[in-house]
Amino acid sequence: MQVDRELDLKGEVCPFTFVKSKLIIEQMEKGQVLRIILDYQPSVENVPKSMEMEGQEVLAVNQIGDKLWEVVVRKVK
């Protein structure tokens, strides 16, 4: 999977994990993919949920380490 942009949000909590992800997505081109790194567990549920509510496509949510997750989103609109 080609990732166009990566955003490291370690240390960030809700709602700023989503706010910061959204600000990046807004400035990307349609079809591009953003990979978000999170270490705050509630955000692992909330960021994908909010992204889908905004009409974006969540491609993957994976645990990639001890208290470390990735959320991969494609910009649709």
Q: Is 18 in the site for another protein (CB under 8 A)?
A: yes
Q: Is 29 in the site for another protein (CB under 8 A)?
A: no
CB of 31 closer than 8 Å to CB of 75:
yes
Residue of 3, 13, 23, 60 that binds another protein (CB under 8 A)? 23
How many residues does the structure list for the chain? 77
Min. distance of Cβ 58 from another protein in angstroms?
Answer: 16
Report d(CA 24, CA 19) in Å as an integer.
9
CB of 56 closer than 8 Å to CB of 76:
yes
32 is catalytic: no
Min. distance of Cβ 4 from another protein in angstroms?
Answer: 16
Among 5, 9, 14, 40, the one annotated catalytic: 14
Q: Which of 34, 37, 35 is nearest to 10 (CA)?
A: 37
Residues 44-73 that bind another protein (CB under 8 A): 50, 53-54
